[in-house]
Amino acid sequence: MAGFNPVLGALARGPVADWLTNPRGGVDERALRDAVHGKIVLVTGASFGLGEATARRLAHAGATVLLVARTEDALREVVKDLADQGLTAHAYPTDLTDLDAVEALTARVLAEHGHVDVVVSNAGKSIRRSISDSYDRMHDFERTIAINYLGPVKLVLGLLPSMRARKQGHLVNISTIGVRIPPAPRWAAYQSSKTAFDVFFRSVAAEAASDRVTATSIYMALIKTRMSAPTKTFDNVPGMSADEAAEIVCRAIVDRPAKISPWWADVAEVATAAVRRPLEVVVSKRFALGRRRKEQR
C-alpha cells in the first residue's frame, strides 16, 4: 500500500468506484520505450509490490533498472528473473533506515553507472495504530520517519547533484492520498511521515526545475499488496493491483507532470479546508463510537 485514509471507506464499492477512486495510469508502449530505453532508473522498495512491478515494467521497456530494497534474497530473485529474460537489472541491497548505508549506496551507484536518470522513491512503511496504543511505542514513529522521510531525503541529496550538473533527470515520489485529505484516527505515524517527505520533495522540485530536473508526486489511493493485507478493513475498499499502480508510475515518467492524483483530491482538499472543524468533530465521534463498541464486545 502506498497509502490510504479510512475516509475513502465511505465511497461505494465495485468497478465504477474503483475507477473513480484511483488515479489513472497507462501509457503508449512506444512512448514508454522512448522515455526509458537506455536510461538508468533506480527504484526503491523493489523486492515486492509496486516497486517490483515498476522495475519489471521499466526493464521490459528497455531501462537499466537499479533495484534497491532491504530484503536481499527477494531482490536478487527479481534481478535474476529479469536477467534470464535478457533484461538489464542490478541489485543494491540497502536498508534505507540506515543513513550511512544510503550514503554508501549513492556513492556506489554513481561510481558504477556514472549517473541516474530517474529515481522512483517507493519504499515505505505503514502503521495503523491508535494513539492510546502508542504511548510506549515511540519506536513506531522512529521507524516510519526513518523509512518514509529521512531515508528518501538522504537518497535525493546523494543523487540530485549529478542530475543538476547534467541538466537532466526526473524524480518520482510515491506519496499517498492521505497527505491531501484530513488526518484520520490511527494513522498519525504514517500520515505525518509521508507528509514530511511530500513537503521536502515539492520544495526540492521548485529549486531543481531551474536545472531542468523534473519531479512528479503521485498521490496513490489503496494498492492491494502484502503491505496493505494485514489491515482487514481494506478488503472491501476500492484498490489497485501492483501492476495497475505501476502503470501510473510509467505515466509519471513519460509525461512528467508535477502531480498525479485522483480527480476528486483537489475538490476534497478545498472542501475540507472550508469545513475542517465540523469534519474533525464527525471523525472523532465516529472513532469514539467504534472504540466503545469494541470495548463492549
Catalytic site positions: 190
Instruction: Give dist(CA 177, CA 237) in Å, integer.
Output: 14
Output the nine-digit C-alpha cell for 153.
531525503
Residues 49-73: b if buried by 16+ CB within 10 A, e if exposed: bbbbbbbbbbbbbbbbbbbbbbeee
Phi then psi dihedrals of residue 229, to 5 deg: -55, -40
Instruction: Answer yes or no: are the C-beta atoms of 78 and 56 closer than 8 Å.
Output: yes
Report the Cα–Cα distance between both ends of the chain, in Å, rounded: 30
User: CA 77 → CA 82, 119, 219, 242, 245, distances in Å?
Assistant: 9, 21, 29, 18, 21
Gyration radius (Cα) of the chain, Å: 19
Q: Which residues contact 108 (CB under 8 A, 6 or more apart)?
A: 92
Asked if residues 224 and 234 have their Cβ atoms less than 8 Å apart, the reply is: yes
